[in-house]
Amino acid sequence: MGTRGARDVRGVSTGWKFRVKILHVYKDYFPVVGGIENHIKLLAEAQAARGHDVTVLVTSLNARAHREKMNGVRAMFASRLFNLSSAPFSLEMFARLREIETDIAHLHSPYPFGEMANYFFGRARATVLTYHSDIVRQKFLGALYTPFLYRVLARVNTIIATSPNYVQSSRVLREWQAKCVVVPLAVPHPPAPSPQNVLPKILERGGDLLFVGRLRYYKGVNYLLEALTLLPDARLTIVGTGPMERAWKHLAETLGVSQRVTWAGEVRDDELPAYYEACDIFVLPCSERSEAFGAVQLEAMRAGKPVVSCDVDTGVAWVNQNEITGLVAPPKNPRALAEAITRLLRDDALRHKFGAAGRLRIEQEFTVEKMVDGVMRVYERAVSGN
């Protein structure tokens, strides 16, 4: 496959002497937004920018298949027949994997049907799997799939874990430590701010907390709302939508804190940096292991903001280092969450210290360039058999 460190005709480091064909396999891709979807988009576009031939094979949101070329990435959307426990099934995905010849198949787990399709029909020279998370909530499906997952993991050349903590805490990865290589997720450079951007007035008064993310059960926003009852001078802005939005808005009303909560909904990428800039503390009150990394913390740290997060025995507390880039509280504990927030709200110097340390950690550990370099090294070893 050639040697690393060469440059393509534009003078951009490709990481390989020859153009590599890369196939990413997962259930969804942009415009679907989520932690794994965002990571695949960032990685695929960065690889394409380095001159590689990059394809993403995912399912369509309906029964109609289509293809698009987006920012140098060929996106193939296979027709979706049905969903089983949040996993879309597509017969066409099996057919496409039988047809596509590629150097690297890069699976993103958990997605059982994609992993099965590649296992039976994939034609790649080497296969790499990023293990983003255990199957947490769908316990019955997880129990059924685990034996086959072990067959998949036995066959892939390398397993990428996003943090060393997850290798140790995952009941699955503990069995495959010898095949694991840690390549953390990354945060891109922030987009240029929108000149028309106008933030809610509540963000202009100081003492503000910020949460950003899909409103899903494991994000733990309910515990943050309960903590707000112990923080009479704090205001909270929540950016994002999701299945728990209605229930959590009702909870805010019930707790009597709704007047201090702003529900910003979906926010454009060019507006989001201003929300981070305006807040005092970013809070990720995650409550379950489904929050495997907490990539949104990287955005807050890039903005120089201290983070308060919860230790759910995943990579979250590895990203936000306790007493270095922020504070880490036990999960599902509103009082502990409130105490951590209170400590930071009362200490400007500590907030600035943690914020500066977070920005430095981003520059040293979580750049796109470092992530892509790490992934490409994994590819090279996989193809060479090392």
Query: Which string of DSSP letters, residue by residue, matches 191-245?
Result: PPPPTT----GGGGSS-EEEEES---GGG-HHHHHHHHTT-TT-EEEEE---TTH
In this structure, the chain runs to a length of 386
Residue 265 bridge partners (DSSP): 239
Q: Is residue 104 part of a domain?
A: yes
Residue 334 dihedral angles phi and psi, to the nearest 5°: -55, -35
Asked if 39 and 129 sit in the same domain, the reply is: yes
Q: Is residue 155 part of a domain?
A: yes
Regions in the chain scoring below 70 on pLDDT = 1-18, 139-142, 192-207, 386
Residue of 78, 277, 299, 71 whose CA lies nearest to 185: 299
Instruction: Report how far Cα 136 is from the mean position of its chain's Cα atoms.
Output: 16
| Predicted structure pTM score | 0.89
Residue 299: the pLDDT is 96
Residue 13: the pLDDT is 42
Asked if 211 and 175 sit in the same domain, the reply is: no
Residue 137: the pLDDT is 75
Residue 202: the pLDDT is 44
Asked if 65 and 155 sit in the same domain, the reply is: yes
Residue 362: the pLDDT is 97
Asked if 92 and 212 sit in the same domain, the reply is: no
Q: How far apart are CA 227 and CA 131, in angstroms?
A: 33
Q: Is residue 194 part of a domain?
A: no
Amino acid residing at 333: N
Q: Is residue 179 part of a domain?
A: yes
| Residues 22-50 as b or e (16 or more Cβ within 10 Å = b) | bbbbbbbbbeeebbbbbbbbbbbbbbbbb
Asked if 43 and 78 sit in the same domain, the reply is: yes
Q: Is residue 13 part of a domain?
A: no
Asked if 173 and 103 sit in the same domain, the reply is: yes
Give the total number of structural domains in the chain.
Answer: 2
Residue 6: the pLDDT is 35
Q: Which helix H or strand E contains 298, and what residues bound it?
A: helix 296-302
Asked if 227 and 359 sit in the same domain, the reply is: yes
Residue 4: the pLDDT is 37
Q: Residue 264's domain is classified under what CATH number?
A: 3.40.50.2000
Residue 85: the pLDDT is 76
| Residues 81-110 as b or e (16 or more Cβ within 10 Å = b) | eeeeeebbbbebbbebbeebebbbbbbbbb
Asked if 229 and 336 sit in the same domain, the reply is: yes
Asked if 114 and 259 sit in the same domain, the reply is: no
Q: Is residue 9 part of a domain?
A: no
Residue 257 dihedral angles phi and psi, to the nearest 5°: -115, 5
Query: Cis omega (within 30 of 0) on the bond before 306?
Result: no
Asked if 127 and 139 sit in the same domain, the reply is: yes
Residue of 156, 56, 137 whose CA lies nearest to 96: 56
Asked if 147 and 25 sit in the same domain, the reply is: yes
Q: Is residue 192 part of a domain?
A: no
Q: Which domain holds residue 254?
A: 201-365
Asked if 238 and 307 sit in the same domain, the reply is: yes
Q: Is residue 195 part of a domain?
A: no
pLDDT digits (tens, 9 = 90+) for 25-46: 999 999 998 889 999 999 999 9
